[in-house]
A and B are shown apart, each in its own frame.
Chain A
Amino acid sequence: MGMGVGEAGYRERIARRAAQELRTGMIVNLGIGIPTLVADYIPADVKVVFHAENGILGSGPRPERGAENPMLCNAGGFPVTLLPGASCFDSVTAFAIIRQGLLDVTILGALEVSQTGDIANWIVPGKRVPGMGGAMELAQKAKQVMVLTTHLDKNGRSKIVRECRLPLTAKGAASLIITDMAVLEVRQDGLYLREVMEPYSLADVIAVTEAELKTDGEVAIFH
């Protein structure tokens, strides 16, 4: 069995699991990468309102080919549509919504997440320095911060760590971590393993995770 990155369809499985956390009426911001896929897996009877930090509340799916308005894009630069009730605004207002805590959920990627919910996702000093964009405000101020990431990095090292080595995006921010191997919940007293992703076993997850994992009753399997 291949450990970690590369298990077929893992991005979709992570996105599908994350979508289950969303409820009707929630204001939700999706980051770039796997988080963007979450929109495709929200059940038809759940209506959330998507916020994009480049200035939309109420963005809808990608328009049909040829119907794109190049000015109307999500924060990742891809064309979107506006749903009934949508509004457009400048960057100050986009971040007023974030800093005031009006986002119910923000879904981010990460380079490292610690067992106390610290997130590092904007810089690998001397190597990759993309900048933080809106991630600091999102991680620090959303009511719920969900981190979607592969469990291991390219070199097979656990991205779920005891303490982040990389510079932080925000301290104690993550509440739920969904990886290709597990669903983990950050609580006051530690990091709880809630679910194991198919095809992995509990033992697989524990063997490769650097962070200290706790369990609380039965660990479910997510298919």
Chain B
Amino acid sequence: MNRESKRLDKVVELEEAMQHLRSGMTLMVGGFGGVGNPPSLIQAILDRGIDELTLISNDTAFPDIGVGRLITERRVKKVIASHIGSNPNAGAQMTAGELTVEFSPQGILAERIRAGGVGLAGILSDIGLGTIVEQGKQKVSVGGKEYLLELPLRAEVALIYASKADRFGNLLYDTTGRNFNPLMAMAADITIVEAEQIVETGTLDPETIVTPGVFVDWIVPSGGVNWKWAWE
């Protein structure tokens, strides 16, 4: 199927969407502690032996949950995140020198991704002034106050989990499953959405749409969460 015929109907089989993923890529994966991670796309990465990834994600989830499984199965060489504490495998690999970890304060990570998605060359922030977050960052003075220049983040592919998608790619999310998903959906060259439910274009209320379909390239149906939550 050629690209043009899919401009208005982006729903494809998982197999077709996965053709855009390969080892060594920079990936953004939406989610927070596994909530809002796309389970079927993550499983497909594991099944296809894709590795050497640079992962941009809020966190590394838990060892057997969501993006945490990519860490546990050693598919990631570098992580840009705000937190890795709930996945001991990430800490162990980092200590062993097998995983590079770059930390950003959580809200700044979100803004860097947003900047990447909205065409800004950087943001000025006072978060982390006087801490090691300053290291290696340019300082900019505005109105007599000092700020850190935080650089935008973009990825080759963003993997998004939505509760509902129409065929054009308009997206809705479920409560805290939203988190980084709508930001990352805007910040990658190719945005692949795993949707819990896919509906006909025109059936969603335009007023409630969170991610406009123009940011989305491909949509695959979700096979559902295939892990046990930590609280279960």
CB within 8 Å of B: which of A85-101?
88-92, 94-95, 98-99
Contacts of A74 in B (CB 8 A): 176
Contacts of A69 in B (CB 8 A): 174-175
Complex Cα distance A72/B109, Å? Answer: 22
Main secondary structure of the interface of A (DSSP, over half): loop
Q: Given A91-B58, A168-B130, decide whether A71 and B82 contact each other with a Cβ distance below 8 A.
A: no
Is A167 part of the contact surface with B, judged by Cβ < 8 Å? yes
Q: Please tell me if the beta carbons of A90 and B103 are within 8 angstroms of each other in the complex.
A: no
Interface centre among A73, A95, A129 (most CB of B within 10 A): A73
Q: Please tell me if the beta carbons of B178 and A77 are within 8 angstroms of each other in the complex.
A: no
Q: Please tell me if the beta carbons of B230 and A77 are within 8 angstroms of each other in the complex.
A: yes
Q: Please tell me if the beta carbons of A54 and B82 are within 8 angstroms of each other in the complex.
A: no
Q: Please tell me if the beta carbons of A70 and B229 are within 8 angstroms of each other in the complex.
A: yes
Interface centre among A55, A72, A76 (most CB of B within 10 A): A55
Q: Please tell me if the beta carbons of A95 and B111 are within 8 angstroms of each other in the complex.
A: yes
Interface centre among B106, B130, B225 (most CB of A within 10 A): B106
> How many B residues touch the partner, as a band?
35 or more
Indicate which residue in B83, B163, B174 contacts A132 across the interface (CB closer than 8 Å).
Answer: B83
Number of A-B contacts (CB under 8 A): 148
Q: Please tell me if the beta carbons of A133 and B59 are within 8 angstroms of each other in the complex.
A: yes
Is A136 part of the contact surface with B, judged by Cβ < 8 Å? yes
Indicate which residue in A56, A75, A89, A94 contacts B107 across the interface (CB closer than 8 Å).
Answer: A94
Q: Please tell me if the beta carbons of A171 and B107 are within 8 angstroms of each other in the complex.
A: no
Q: Please tell me if the beta carbons of B131 and A167 are within 8 angstroms of each other in the complex.
A: yes
Q: What is the interface of chain A, defined by CB distance below 8 A to chain B?
A: 52-56, 68-79, 82, 88-92, 94-95, 98-99, 123, 126, 128-137, 140, 167-171
A-B CB contact pairs (8 Å), 19 listed: A54-B35, A56-B176, A71-B35, A71-B36, A71-B176, A72-B177, A77-B33, A77-B35, A79-B231, A90-B110, A91-B32, A92-B107, A95-B108, A129-B91, A129-B95, A130-B85, A134-B106, A134-B107, A170-B130
